[in-house]
Structure 1
Amino acid sequence: MESGAIPEDSITASSFTGVWHEPYRGRLNGVAGQAAWVSKYDTIGEWLQVDLGEMKRVTGTIIQGRYVADEWVFPGSAGRHIPVTNLLNNPVYARYVRFLPQTWHGRMSMRAEIVGCDTTAVVPTCPYLLGMESGAIPDGSITASSFYGAGSEPYLARLYGVAGGGAWVAEHPHTIGEWLEVFPGSADRNTPVINLLNNEVDARYVRFVVQSWHTMVSMRVEIVGCNTTICSDPLGMESGAIPDDSITASSFHSADLVPYNGRLNGVAGGGAWMAISNTIGQWLQVDLGEMKRVTGTIIQGRRNTEQRVTSYKLQYSTDRITWTTCAGSDGSEMDFAGNVDRSTPVTNLLNNPADARYVRFLPQTWNHVMSMRAEIVGCNTTAVLPCLYLLGMESGAIPDGSITASSVGGLNYVPYRGRLNGVAPGGAWAPLIYSIGQWLQVFAGNVDRNTPVTNLLNNPVDARYVRFLPQTWHHVMAMRVEIVGCNTSLPSVDSLQFSQSVRICLGWNPVPYLMAASLHLRSMMLDMSLTAGG
């Protein structure tokens, strides 16, 4: 589009206003004519269409507003000049691409580009047979929702298989919902098998639960991942990078309490967004302008009066149509802790970061009236480096004492023998009993005497006294510590004083202080218990 490789007559539209507003004026960064395609009618259903000339792999789009006037399509563009890129979650093969504006500023005007590549340039990078036909995937790695009987078991579902009945057959073969599942484990004793998670998780403990095995339950493992603290930048509420018209709400009380006054540390107008009615179901919504990795939120109360949200739910979306509510570990919708005063920011980090363009705050409880200021933290999705680092089983960075198991088959099969490519006596971890449910667990603790390790409580507690009870240690029991939390009554983020009651919580932004406000464990302190009372 921008380069002109797509000819003018390949760019068409449902309508256009007149001369100088033709469809081919809608090229990214175009300045010819009136420097945009402008539809004749400002109604939903109008479209701009591009013929790519042949089948292409389409991976995303870029749009802009009109060059010579404040007219643009949103929530695509945030202004008339700034290009906004949207990458498709699932790339498609197509010759024709059509843009259908849903909302706009001024007039329905736009300039656009389409990104992708030739279909011939998409080289299959993973065309290998993984072992169903060859038998490299063992029988025990093939499971199903049910099977009809002897001769129709899941492992008979191998390509070109002739054993038994020659296929897997479900117990209810005409019922939608039956399934066949293959999870490749090891095919021999030496070749590592890598299984990447469909949905990455943030975790401290990882447990391998054995389901099937060859001869004996024995294994050596590694865990693949990365540090979770690399994606925690403010995304533009406080700085103003998110424009006013990208901040909307279900309602607002008055001209001084409009949605865009709900910026973190904002002092404009009435110093917050306030809903017109104090009822559950009200929301404050932020359009991030493009897909971002969202890792948490920060909220505040109203600047000049004791009005604040004390708990809220969080939703996110890629298209403003389908919304997902953040859930807890049990799968139920999660209520995030809100403010205890009008000024102190409260940070809540997501257990499972989300890729989203739209974020919605839904207050659940509040003090006096529903008022809030907010920020969203995360990073550009393009800045999320592949999270594929070996975390320390093979290298030894994870110490022996951090590797535990349900049982041990003998001195040569202790849990720490279960390191990837390990060759120490026994050569693997093996349990005492070969039964489904045996497990190997890895807890990545301290690996040296200087690097701080931070452990945040799943459920914050109110306490005056905090006690550390070492459970394992390296050489001798020695440690240096800090406690992370906030005062239960005063809006302060200073170091905690033992002479007053404190709340061990995330009632402040931990990111700048993460290294300072950590549990400093001298030597390799592998595990500990924390009890609190008061």
Structure 2
Amino acid sequence: MNIIWLFLTFCYLLHNIREIKSQQPEEICFRPPTNPNPGRPGKRGPPGGKGVKGDVGPTGQCVCDGMSQLRQEIQQLNHEIQSLKQFQHSHTDKLPHCSVGMKDRRVRDEDITASATYDSGINTYYLPQYARLDNVLTGAHVGAWVSGNREYNELWLYVYLYVCLNTTCTSFNFKRFGRFLQVTAHNNINNIFVVSAGNWIQVDLKSPTLITGVVTQGRPGGHIVWDQQWVTSYKIAYGINQTSFQTIQNSDGNDLIFQGNTDKNTKVTNMFPAPIIGRYVRLIHITYNRYAAIRLEYLTC
């Protein structure tokens, strides 16, 4: 019996030991009792020492570069605004900024055409491609477009007959013909050779373009007889294609007649009542001094 009692006692103690070992540490850790009346906190301790310096971070992008570029763009815009204000009332100053490209040849020769040109088929001195603002006389051309038609070219025959019937010439007398022209010029007999009103010079801008005005000049000087030629009045027609044109009109619904030049070199600017949009723009001459000759440029502002 004693042996059995001892064995049961040993098993009981062993079982209790295993239960104690299986318990979590926090469950058996000593916890001090909570103080129901805590005292005042103690004084703050001295600051800790300086920590270890951290690693250098990656190189960033400074936003000042973008701001600098923005400031430059703003300054450039302000400069352009001031430039616009300076020439908004001066039409001549608009040429460097607002031209379609007649003078600087952005408009190609083949994009400048005319309904009729003086001496067409005989020589190439008077072609519409020479109607560029500030063009000058050269050995190859007269520096302007000179209007013409069939009746004008045939009139040379009558002049020839007039000179020869009043002289004893068997061939063309250039000396007497030149004298005839000089006399008529000195007597202020204008428009000796009549050119029908309605001839036009056309510029193809290649795409619909906003046009605000036109600047014109006469034929450049250089000849005693032929340097007093300019257009004194004209109309403007425009269109998106070459089959349908409309003219600029006044408030009464009539074609607006623009006043042209009074000498050969002074630039005369006519601003339109309202901007027009067209690919093809025609200047149709109406009246002229001695002969219809012109240089021109269109404006876009």
Q: TM-score, normalised by structure 2?
A: 0.49
**Greater RCO (CA < 8 Å, at least 6 residues apart):** 2
Q: Which has the higher helix share?
A: 2
Higher Cα radius of gyration: 2
Q: Which has the higher strand share?
A: 1
